[in-house]
Amino acid sequence: MMDTAARLLRLLSLLQSRPQWDGADLAARLDVTPRTVRRDVTRLRSLGYPVDAEAGIGGGYRLGPGGRLPPLLLEDEEAVAIAVGLRVATTTTVSGVEEAAISALAKLHQVLPARLREQVAAIAAHTSQLPQGELPTVDGEVLILLAAGCRDTEGIRFRYRTHGGDESERSVEPLQIVHTGRRWYLVARDRDRQAWRTFRVDRITEPVLTGARYRFEDPPDPIALVAEGTGVAPWDIVARIRVQADAATVSKVFPAREGIVDPIDASTCELRFAANDLGPLIAQTLRIRWPFEILGPPELRTAVHDHGRRLLDS
C-alpha cells in the first residue's frame, strides 16, 4: 500500500486526468476505502488544492479552479514536449512570455531526470530557427483577455488602429484567436457593423470585457476568414493562377497564410496570393511545381515569361 504522501500525489494525478471522479472509483484506483479517500481530499484542501465534492447520484469529486497550481505528474514524452514548447516560446512575439518561458524552462530542467535533460539538450543543440525579420509584438495581457472573451462568449470593447493609423472604438463578439505563424488575429462579429471581421491583435489596445453574452447561430470558419483577409484583401496586386493539381495537394505547399486555394474540379484548382509589387508574386509563382496558367494580372504573366526566357538563355 502507498504511503500517505505518495497516495496524495496519485490522487491529484487522477483528479487532473478527467473532469469528475466517483468516490468508489477513486477508492478502487488507490486501493483504499472510500473513507480514506474522503480524508485524503480533506488533506488536499488543507494544502490549498480546491477539490469540490458533490453528493448523490451523478456526484463525485473534481479539481476546482483557483488555489495553488497542483504538481503535474508527467510521462517522459510529456515532459520533453513541454520543455521543447517552452524553448520555442522564448522566441515568441507575445510580450512577457519570453521571460516567463525561460524561468519555467529553468525550473523544469532542474527537476528533469538526467536522461530527459540529455534529450532536451540534444534537441536544443541541433535545432535552428530562420530569422523572421521584424514582427509586431503582442501584449500578453491583451491576448489573455481576448481568449477569455472567446471562451466565455462574452463581448469585448477595445480601441483599434487600422493599417492607415486611424483609431476607433470597436464592440465585438469574439469567436476565435488565430495565429498565422507571424501574427495573431482576433476573429469576431462587429456589433456596430453587424459583420464578421478580423482584427490584428497587436493593433488592439484597452480591451474590456463588457459582460454581454451572445450565441452564434452559424459562425464562419475562423481560419478561412483570416486566410482570406491576410492572403488577398490587404494587398494591391492579386495573382490568380490555375494549377493542374488537386486543391488538397496544392494546399500542402501553399498553406493558408501564403495563399488561397479553391478547387475547380477533382484535378484542378485556382491559387490566389497577393502583394504590393510584382517581386514577391514572381517568387511565389516560381514555387509552383505543377503545370499552371497565369490568369492574371497580365503584368505578372509577362514578368514570369521574361524570367523564364532569361533562365533559358543563361
**Cell numbers given for 92:** 515568441
pTM over 0.95: no
- Residue where the block lists cell 501553399: 254
Least confident of 40-49, 94-103, 138-147, 149-158: 94-103
Least confident of 64-68, 77-81, 99-103: 64-68
Task: Mark residue 96 as left, alpha or beta (left: phi above 0; alpha: psi -120 to 50; beta: remaining).
Answer: left
142 closest CA partner among 188, 94, 104, 214: 94
76: Cβ–Cβ under 8 A, 6 or more apart, which residues? 116
Could you tell me if 175 and 216 are in contact, meaning their C-beta atoms sit under 8 angstroms apart?
A: yes
pLDDT band at 131 (very low <50, low <70, confident <90, very high): low
Distance in angstroms (rounded) separating the CA atoms of residues 113 and 309: 60
pLDDT tens-digit series, residues 153-198: 999 999 999 878 889 999 999 999 988 767 889 999 999 988 999 9
- Residue where the block lists cell 469576431: 188
For residue 186, the model assigns a pLDDT of: 95
168: Cβ–Cβ under 8 A, 6 or more apart, which residues? 159, 160, 162
Type and span of the H or E element at 272: strand 268-275
For residue 58, the model assigns a pLDDT of: 59
Residue 140 has pLDDT above 60, yes or no: yes
Least confident of 124-128, 167-171, 199-203: 124-128
pLDDT tens-digit series, residues 254-311: 887 788 899 999 999 999 988 878 888 999 999 999 999 999 999 999 999 988 888 8
Whether the upstream peptide bond of residue 297 has omega within 30° of 0, thus cis, is yes
Q: 120-136: buried (b, 16+ CB within 10 Å) or exposed (e) per residue?
A: beeeeeeeeeeeeeeee
pLDDT tens-digit series, residues 214-253: 999 889 988 878 877 666 555 678 899 999 999 999 999 9
**Cell numbers given for 65:** 479552479
Distance in angstroms (rounded) separating the CA atoms of residues 154 and 30: 40
Report all structural domains of the chain as residue ranges with CATH numbers, in order of start. Answer: 4-63 (1.10.10.10), 76-125 (no CATH), 138-226 (2.30.30), 232-313 (3.30.70.250)
For residue 153, the model assigns a pLDDT of: 92
Would strands 138-139 and 94-95 be described as parallel, antiparallel, or unpaired? parallel
Distance in angstroms (rounded) separating the CA atoms of residues 119 and 111: 14
234: Cβ–Cβ under 8 A, 6 or more apart, which residues? 163, 274
pLDDT tens-digit series, residues 25-65: 999 999 999 999 999 999 988 888 888 888 776 568 988 87
For residue 190, the model assigns a pLDDT of: 95
As a dihedral over the C-alpha atoms of residue 274, residue 278, residue 283, residue 286, rounded to 10 degrees, the angle is: 90
CA 118 centroid distance within chain: 28
Helix axes 114-125, 76-89, angle to 10 degrees: 40
